[in-house]
A = this chain, B = another copy of it.
Amino acid sequence: MKNNSFTNQNKKQDCFDLIIVGGGPAGITAGIYAARQGIKTLLITKEFGGQVLKKAGMIENYPGFKEISALDLIKKFENHLKKFESQGKIKIAFENVGKIKKDNNYFSILTENKKEYKSRAVIVATGADPRPLEVPGEKEFIGKGVSYCVTCDGACFQNKNVAVIGGGESGFEAAIFLANFAKKIYVLEYSPYIKATMDNQKKAKNTGKIEIITLAEVKEIRGENFVNSIIYQDLKTKENKTLNVNGVFIEIGNQPATSLVKGLAKFDHLINNLDEIAIDPRTCATSTPGLFAAGDVTDVAFKQIIVACGEGSKAAMSAFKYLQ
C-alpha cells in the first residue's frame, strides 16, 4: 500500500504541463517565458549552450551586449533561467532525450537513461549538430585529432599544424581562433569561393599563419594513434595532395537534431535543403497538436541567437495558449 502510493507520487512528479527539450537560446528563452507564465514546466538538456558554445569568435549581434564571448552569454542565459528554478517556477533535468512519443493527449519523453517524463505539451529546441564530412578516418579519429568544436579542443594544438575544413564564416572564425595556438592552419574549401566576410578574411590574413586552399575536396584523414595527415584532391588538377597536420576541425555546417521527433512531426526540406521540423512561423506549432518547435531545429529562415530567442518566446506563449 505504502509502496504503491510512493510509486504514484513519483509518477505525479514526472508529469508536467510542458516539457522543453534543449538548453540553447531557444530552449532557455522558452523556459524563462514558461516559468513566468506559471506553467508547470520541465526543461531537459544535456548541457546549456547548444551550438553557441562552439562559436569561436566574439558575439557582436546579440542586442544589449556590444561584444561578449559565447561562454559568457550562455552563462548569463543559464543564470537567468536558474533564477526561476530557485523560485520553484521551473525544473531542470540534465539528460539526453532519446525519443518523444504521443499517446492520446499526453507526450512521453524517454531519456537515454530509460527515464520517462510525461506532459501535455512539448517544445523541441534541440538545435543542430555539426555536419560530418563522411570520409574515411573521420569517425575513428574523433577525439584523436578530429574535432567539431574549436573552442573545446583548439588549445590542444599548441605549435602544431592543423586543418580547418570549410571556408565559410565559421571555418574562418575557427582558423582565426586556432591561430592563438597552432603553428600553421590550412583552410580547405570545396568551392572556388571563400564565403567568409571580408572582415574575417582580413583578420585571417593578419595572423600570418593561415593558408587558404580552395577547390579542395578532402578524401581521407590518416594517422596511427593520432591524426598525422589529410589527403585532398585538388579539383583543378585532379591531383591528390597530402597535408601533414595533427588536427582536423570540421566546419561545414550543421544538421538539425530532429531524430527525437521522426515520425511525430512533419519535416520541411525545401527552405534550407535539410530535414528541419516544419513550423507555423507565427506560432512555432508543428503538425502535431501540442508539439511546438523553436530555433535551429526548425525551418526558421535565419539561424541566429537573437532569432532563436524570439522563436523560443513565441513557442512558450503558444504552448501557454494551447494548455489553456
Q: Which residues of A contact B (CB under 8 A)?
A: 25, 28-29, 32-33, 36, 38, 60-66, 73, 76-77, 79-80, 83, 197-198, 271, 281-283, 300-302, 304, 306-311, 313-314, 317-318
Q: Is the CB–CB distance between A304 and B300 below 8 Å?
A: no
Q: Is the CB–CB distance between B62 and A36 below 8 Å?
A: no
Q: How many copies does the complex hold?
A: 2
Residue numbers in B under 8 Å from A308 (CB-CB): 310
Q: Is the CB–CB distance between B64 and A73 below 8 Å?
A: yes
Please name 8 pairs of A and B residues whose Cβ atoms are closer than 8 Å in the assembled complex, sorted by A: A29-B63, A29-B306, A33-B61, A62-B64, A64-B80, A304-B310, A304-B313, A307-B314
Tell me which of B32, B63, B281, B300 contacts A61 (CB under 8 A): B32
A66 to B79, CA, bound (A): 8
Residue numbers in B under 8 Å from A36 (CB-CB): 60-61
Tell me which of B29, B77, B283 contacts A301 (CB under 8 A): B283
Q: Is the CB–CB distance between B64 and A64 below 8 Å?
A: yes
Known contacts A36-B61, A66-B80, A307-B314, then 12 further A-B pairs from the complex at CB < 8 Å, ordered by chain A residue = A29-B306, A32-B60, A33-B61, A63-B80, A63-B309, A282-B301, A301-B318, A302-B317, A306-B306, A307-B310, A309-B309, A310-B313
A311 to B32, CA, bound (A): 19
Q: Is the CB–CB distance between A306 and B301 below 8 Å?
A: no
For A74, give the chain B residue with the smallest CB separation: B64
Residue numbers in B under 8 Å from A66 (CB-CB): 79-80, 83
Q: How far is the CB of A10 from chain B (nearest CB, A)?
A: 29
Q: Is the CB–CB distance between A63 and B307 below 8 Å?
A: no
Given the known inter-chain contacts A307-B310, A314-B307, please indicate yes or no for A63 contacting B25, CB distance below 8 A: yes
Residue numbers in B under 8 Å from A28 (CB-CB): 63
Given the known inter-chain contacts A282-B301, A317-B302, please indicate yes or no for A76 contacting B64, CB distance below 8 A: yes
Q: Is the CB–CB distance between B300 and A282 below 8 Å?
A: yes
Residue numbers in B under 8 Å from A310 (CB-CB): 304, 306-311, 313
Residue numbers in B under 8 Å from A281 (CB-CB): 281-282
Q: How far is the CB of A177 from chain B (nearest CB, A)?
A: 19
A269 to B197, CA, bound (A): 40
Q: How far is the CB of A35 from chain B (nearest CB, A)?
A: 9
Q: Which 4 pairs between the two chains have the least Cβ-Cβ distance?
A: A310-B310, A281-B281, A64-B76, A307-B310
Residue numbers in B under 8 Å from A64 (CB-CB): 62, 64-65, 73, 76-77, 80
For A76, give the chain B residue with the smallest CB separation: B64
Q: How far is the CB of A64 from chain B (nearest CB, A)?
A: 4
Instruction: Pick the most buried of A29, A64, A311: most chain B CB atoms within 10 A of its CB.
Output: A64
